[in-house]
Amino acid sequence: MSKALEGIRILDFTHVQSGPTCTQLLAWFGADVIKVERAGEGDATRAQLRDIPGVDSLYFTMLNHNKRSITLDAKRPAGKEVLETLIRDCDVLVENFAPGALDRMGFSWERIQALNPRMVVASVKGFGPGPYEHCKVYENVAQCTGGAASTTGFSDGPPVVTGAQIGDSGSGLHLALGIVTALFQRTTSGRGQRVQTAMQDAVLNLCRVKLRDQQRLERTGVMEEYPQFGMGEEFGSAVPRAGNASGGGQPGSILRCKGWETDPNAYIYFIAQAAVWPAICQVIGHEGWITHPDFATPRARLPHLIDVFSRIEEWTRLHTKFEVMAILNQHDIPCGPILSMKEIADDPSLRATGAIVEVAHPERGSYLTVGNPIKLSDSPTDVRRSPLLGEHTEEVLGQLGYSAEQIAALRAERAI
């Protein structure tokens, strides 16, 4: 069976996380991704957070599946010629260098267009054009400047960054969509274009509900679904941190379950959805709330949400998180257990769907990785191991038309 992006060749100049997330997703869909690395060093993440000495780290392997690796020194004349050949041959160039790095290498947008007018050039940067565009950005910087950190945490504590990599991986996912869109437009325009994702913009896109709430706050001065309302706290001029309250119209909270004293993840997220309120009251043994004027309607409950969830928690503490989920699901009450990474890794259902995949590696043995979260019926994903440094240099150059003698000469010149 053919793959969705079969026939698309991608020149991958990305490193660390944001860019590799993008190119790995495209490789999973069948694109031929050629990762260009420096000889002897490679992507910095090959050596970062190693758990086995002298072996590619999980940080690298889990972001570079299904790719081919070549080593190339584009600063040498012979290496630059190889790069020009690759640009002529590929459909997409992806990079997450510092701003202006490609230009300094001698490969400006105009130069790339001269070599290959159909090439799509895609970039991840920290910020878009403006006062911060030349600033260095990492994951948590993006979270902080994109609105996530200021709205995460509890009102009496500092801003908090999330464990989900919404800055790096989130930006990579946005960029992948931009690339596929540009390739689609190329089918009618016949030409390539530039695609750029700023990490700040990507985080903001994922925080849009908080920008929604900022405008609501400026108009009304209060947000009744936030815990500050029930505690009688005054709202300031900016959206506050709301703890574990739901970001939507249905009140929710994280509640303790049986065993919470010794298990840091013995909790469940409970949503007090209006449509199932009578069922909630029956399950927790508080049927009187169904008709009580302080609790009968969603609006009436807003000032009393702390009391509501405290009472629900009295019930959840009598059961394990999985027992709570089983009971609530019988009544169509939305909830979800707090799953640890160990529980997720050991979940057989996630193995069965390909959300968690076991991969064999020639140096580090078998390891677990995430699979493709996007499932296509006609383009299934086969997760293959990440490449060793320069593993495919001769293979790729041979496909470009280089003879064995020419490849040997390039090695002698240290161009590869």
168 is catalytic: yes
- Hey, how many other C-beta atoms are within 10 angstroms of the C-beta on 315? 18
365-370 and 356-361: which strand pairing?
A: antiparallel
Q: What are phi and psi of 266, to 5 degrees?
A: -85, 65
- Rounded-to-integer distance, Cα 56 and Cα 24, Å: 17
* DSSP run (H or E) holding 67: strand 67-71
Cα–Cα distance, 54 to 361 (Å, whole number): 14
Q: Alpha-carbon distance 329 to 331, whole Å?
A: 5
Amino acid at 129: P
List, in order, residues 6 or more apart from 365 with CB less than 8 Å away: none
Q: Is 191 left (phi over 0), alpha (psi -120 to 50) or beta?
A: beta
Quote the CA–CA distance of 95 and 123 in Å, as a whole number: 5
Percentage helix, strand, coil, to 5, in the chain?
A: 40, 15, 45
Distance from C-alpha of 15 to C-alpha of 22, rounded to nearest angstrom: 11
- Which residue among the candidates 12, 32, 73, 168 is catalytic per the annotation? 168
Please list the alpha-helical segments (H only) found in 271-403: 277-283, 298-301, 305-316, 321-330, 341-345, 348-353, 393-399
Instruction: Please state, in angstroms and rounded to a whole number, the distance separating the CA atoms of residues 99 and 206.
Output: 24
- Listing from the earlier edge strand, what are the strands of the sheet with 32-37? 67-71, 32-37, 9-13, 92-95, 120-125, 194-198
Distance CA 73, CA 37 (A): 8
76 touches 415 (CB < 8 A): yes
Residue whose tokens read 């090439």: 119
Q: Which residues are catalytic?
A: 168
